[in-house]
């Protein structure tokens, strides 16, 4: 399965995808392909926080191996010609530059397609900021083709506890899911269930196993 994650390659987005990958590895192996490095290794293929990372070049056509037992995360802030996409997730942050880049990138992928379907994640939302999820939703719909449909929309409030874990993980190169806040973990479960079409009982069982892992 190829899952495309569009949006600026920020620390918050990388941590969010690593968290999601840690959950999904209990279902199938997850490999992250990214146009920007996750760790601090000069190699093109390496392990970071327990997840296999591949550094790719945006100008090259991207073709994954046809392995039904692997979930490929394609994390990009640039347009990459893709052979196949099973799920598309736009990751939108409230900062104007990041928001504009994400909308423009999504527009490139949607160009020429009829009835495209995207999942939309509002990441790093601030509770009392006027640029909240409602404002971002209006911005997306105003600046994208009117025919675009978002099948699911998710709001991620990046609490201080999670930000501390994110920063520490950059040095320790690992973190535990069980240390994240309940709201963050619930969002990870919901998104995982929607992407993999899992029922509530299955996703809760899988997440409990993921929490026990380092």
95 φ/ψ angles, rounded to the nearest 5 degrees: -80, 135
pLDDT of residue 178: 93
Rounded to a whole number of angstroms, the CA Rg of the chain reads: 16
Residue located via tokens 């990751």: 91
CATH of 2-212, one of 3.30.1360.30, 3.30.420.40, 3.40.190.290, 3.40.50.300: 3.40.50.300
Q: What is the pLDDT of residue 115?
A: 44
pLDDT in tens, 122-174: 999 888 889 899 999 999 988 886 566 788 999 998 899 999 999 999 999 99
Q: Would you call 199 helix, strand, or coil by DSSP?
A: coil
Q: What is the pLDDT of residue 149?
A: 74
CB-based contacts of 133: which residues, under 8 Å, 6+ apart? 122, 125, 153, 155
Q: How far apart are the first and last CA of the chain?
A: 25
- The per-residue b/e assignment along 44-58, b for 16 or more CB within 10 angstroms, e otherwise, is eebebbebbbbbbee
Provide the token pair at 105.
Answer: 């990138």
Contacts of 167 (CB under 8 A, 6+ apart): none
- Say what the pLDDT of residue 200 is: 85
Low-confidence ranges of the chain (pLDDT < 50): 114-116
Domain borders along the chain are 2-212
């Amino acid at each position: 399965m190829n899952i495309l994650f569009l949006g600026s390659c920020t620390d918050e987005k990388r941590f969010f995808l690593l968290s999601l990958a840690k959950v999904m590895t209990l279902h199938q192996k997850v490999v992250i392909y990214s146009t920007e490095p996750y760790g601090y290794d000069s190699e093109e293929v390496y392990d970071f926080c327990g997840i296999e990372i591949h550094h790719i070049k945006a100008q090259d056509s991207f073709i994954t191996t046809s392995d039904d037992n692997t979930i490929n995360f394609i994390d990009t802030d640039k347009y990459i010609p893709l052979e196949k996409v099973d799920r598309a997730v736009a990751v939108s942050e409230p900062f104007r530059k990041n928001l504009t880049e994400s909308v423009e990138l999504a527009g490139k992928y949607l160009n020429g397609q009829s009835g495209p379907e995207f999942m939309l994640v509002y990441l790093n939302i601030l509770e009392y900021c006027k640029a909240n999820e409602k404002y971002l939703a209006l911005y997306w719909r105003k600046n994208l083709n009117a025919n675009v449909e978002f099948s699911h929309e998710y709001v991620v409030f990046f609490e201080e506890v999670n930000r501390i874990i994110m920063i520490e993980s950059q040095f320790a190169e690992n973190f535990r899911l069980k240390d994240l806040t309940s709201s963050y973990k619930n969002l990870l479960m919901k998104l995982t269930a929607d992407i993999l079409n899992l029922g509530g009982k299955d996703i809760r069982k899988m997440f409990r196993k993921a929490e026990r892992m380092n």
